[in-house]
Amino acid sequence: MAKYKNHILVCGGTGCRASQSEAIAANLQKAVDENNLGNDVQVVKTGCFGFCEKGPVIKMVPDNTFYVHVAPEDAEELVLEHLVKGRKVERLLYIDPETKAPVSDSRHMDFYKKQLRIALRNCGFIDPENIDEYIARDGYSALGTVLEKMSPEEAIKVVKDSGLRGRGGGGFPTGLKWELTYKSESDQKYVVCNADEGDPGAFMDRSILEGDPHSVLEAMAICGYCIGADTGLIYIRAEYPLAIKRLKIAIDQAREYGLLGKDIFGSGFDFDVSIRYGAGAFVCGEETALIHSMEGMRGEPTVKPPFPAQSGYKGKPTNVNNVETFANIPAIFLKGAEWFNKIGTEKSAGTKVFALAGKVNNVGLIEVPMGTTLREVIFDIGGGIKGGKKFKAVQTGGPSGGCLTENHLDLPIDYDTLLASGSMMGSGGMIVMDEDDCMVSVAKFYLDFTVEESCGKCTPCRVGNKRLYELLDKITLGKAEEGDLTLLRNLANVIKDTALCGLGQTSPNPVLSTMDNFPEEYEAHVKDGKCPAGQCRALMQYVIDQNLCVGCTLCSRVCPVDAISGEKKMPHFIDSSVCIKCGACMEKCKFGAISVQ
């Protein structure tokens, strides 16, 4: 392998690619070649850096200079200035939001300082399309160690001792799951990787597969060895074309290197992986539904037991783990169960990847040790609330989770504390809301999603969630009646208590948690006909202050529905029965006479 003095890492995640990072890489390469730096400088297209807010991003290695919002036209300057002349391109450096000063390199960026990257260890560092780069970072040596030196029981014990729990959301102990599948006797078993990531706004698994596909393949092979399976299947949604492409490349390369296939490392262990495509149904992330979908059946869950460990794909014992869970496995074997177990909290070991989104300054992909507080995530890593607004709530766990408030900000994040506070870990979506967000509307948004994604098999989810949505809709339209909140809560509780699968059982969480944490907001909608956040259009009233209005008629002229009347130079009036609440009048008024009530 050639040795380079400098590397230019260009983010090749889906987000940055959408902002022309491919062209940036091409232009950088061109500039490198033109300046005859080809032997010293390598341009590498990596997986996601995580700092999507500032994309496209590139990083200069070894000095870790971090350039943000890079455009293809910047390539030549970057090569000439940074590499040839040794001067940083100041205008492309990251500006610290607090100090307003440019930050020299990624190690000094708050966004990265509190992160600990295990699952994402290679994302943004290596070229995911080159197996040698993975191997250079100890890739496949965990598999080698396991195959050569460990019995399946010993290897399972390592996973159990590590304390790793399922990162897909449920938090089931991974080692125990492996052990159960190991103990199921069968002529054929399967390892399944659940890559059916579907939470709104979540892209943890996609980023891992795009940035470090081999870590998942290696872990699946280790799992196959442990449970006694020679076949691995990756169930991935077809809307992840880049992840699929990189997985395919990775599988081909691993086969070529003998790391997948027959007699791996001469151990006599055979293992190969193939890809199964999902059509993008949220419920297919539920493991029994996922298995049915892979079998070519309708993607519907079935009642457990039997668990997949007993009867899964084609009726055979099947171990289903999520992408992020797998991505942790090689690191655990490389550094030891004890090392992993010491990270995080007592019952939730290791780290968790979150897709931080919403009204936060630093939107992106982050990985933090379990036990990190929400405050640290939102304010330190996330850089606080956008536009200096007030923090109101954070939704974790996607449509299955709940909204947590300011009171929960200092809670250490782990499976159990989140559950105890009425939310859940989920797969790692984290959406931050500010004072402008209406919590009833937020609950409605999630229910809208659940209604769309319900498979329709059980009554509580099929009809119950629809009715839940309709009740919320009624509330946001100001049509709710006395007693509707009682009905809402009863229905939410019954759905939780009676739905067939995890999707239905958790779908009322956004409703219940917002009702618990923001009761006054619900009551304001129902009893006072007001939306405190000013989001519910039906509950808004545009009013002209009679003292401030000078009768300039500007408002009445812009009103698209002629809802404003009044004599020239006399105060005007808005007929609220005609008003469509478009806000055009308020925007036009030069005297601040129009307000929303």
Using CB under 8 A, list all residues that contact another protein. Answer: 281, 298, 300, 302-303, 305, 451-467, 470-471, 487, 490-491, 494, 496-500, 505
User: CB of 281: closest distance to another protein in angstroms?
Assistant: 7
Residue 167 near residue 285, CB atoms below 8 Å: no
- Alpha-carbon span 323 to 7, nearest angstrom: 28
Q: Which is nearer to another protein, 236 or 455 (CB)?
A: 455
Measured CA to CA, the distance from residue 368 to residue 512 in angstroms comes to: 27
Question: 286 near 158, Cβ under 8 Å?
Answer: no
State the Cα–Cα distance between residues 200 and 431, nearest whole angstrom.
Answer: 9
Look at strands 231-237 and 190-195 and give their pairing: parallel
Q: Least distance (Å) from another protein to the CB of residue 467? A: 4
* CB closer to another protein out of 89 and 471: 471
Q: Give whichever of 35 and 310 is closer to another protein, judged by the CB atom.
A: 310
Nearer to another protein, 403 or 488 (CB): 488
**Minimum gap (Å) between residue 562 Cβ and another protein:** 33
298 vs 342, beta carbon nearer another protein: 298
Closer residue to another protein, CB minimum distance, 347 or 462 = 462
Please state, in angstroms and as integers, the Cα–Cα distance from residue 48 to each residue in 207, 360, 403, 462, 503, following that order.
6, 19, 27, 37, 29
- Alpha carbon separation from 263 to 74, 260, 269, 334, 447 (Å, rounded): 49, 9, 5, 22, 49
Alpha carbon 90 to its chain centroid, in Å, reads 31
SS3 content of the chain, % helix, strand, coil (to 5): 45, 15, 40
Q: Which is nearer to another protein, 18 or 463 (CB)?
A: 463
Closest approach of Cβ 302 to another protein, in Å? 7
DSSP-H helix ranges across 383-464? 415-420, 439-453, 459
Minimal distance in Å, beta carbon 486 to another protein?
10
Give the nearer residue to another protein in terms of CB position, either 89 or 458: 458
In terms of C-beta density within 10 A (0-12 exposed, 13-18 middle, 19 or more buried), how is residue 516 classed?
A: middle
CB of 518: closest distance to another protein in angstroms? 23
- The partner residues of 434 in beta bridges, in order of sequence, read 391
Round to whole Å and give the CA distance between 448 and 470.
Answer: 9
228 versus 502: smaller Cβ distance to another protein: 502
Q: How far is the CB of 178 from another protein (least distance, A)?
A: 24
DSSP string, 478-500: T---TTHHHHHHHHHHHHHHH-S
Query: Can you tell me whether residue 182 is helix, strand or coil?
Result: helix
Q: Pick from 54, 65, 77: which is nearest to 103 by CA?
A: 65
Q: Rank residues 284 and 524 by Cβ distance to another protein and give the closer one.
A: 284
Least distance from another protein to the Cβ atom of residue 463, Å: 4
Give least dist CB 205 to another protein, A.
22
Nearest approach in angstroms of CB 300 to another protein is 7
Report the first-to-last Cα separation within the chain, whole angstroms: 68
30 versus 467: smaller Cβ distance to another protein: 467
Residue 452 CB, nearest approach to another protein (Å): 6
CA distances from 231 to 222, 297, 373 (A): 12, 20, 39
Closer to another protein at the Cβ: 320 or 492?
A: 492
CB 181 within 8 A of CB 318: yes
Structure tokens at 494: 């019954």
Beta carbons of 501 and 300 less than 8 angstroms apart: no
Q: If DSSP codes are grouped into helix, strand and coil, which group holds residue 158?
A: helix
Least distance in Å: CB of 371 to another protein?
25
At closest approach, how far in Å is the CB of 489 from another protein? 12
Provide the b/e sequence for 367-384 (b: ≥16 CB within 10 Å): bbbbbbbbbbbbbbbbbb
The pair of structure tokens assigned to 407 is 């009171």
Nearer to another protein, 213 or 504 (CB): 504
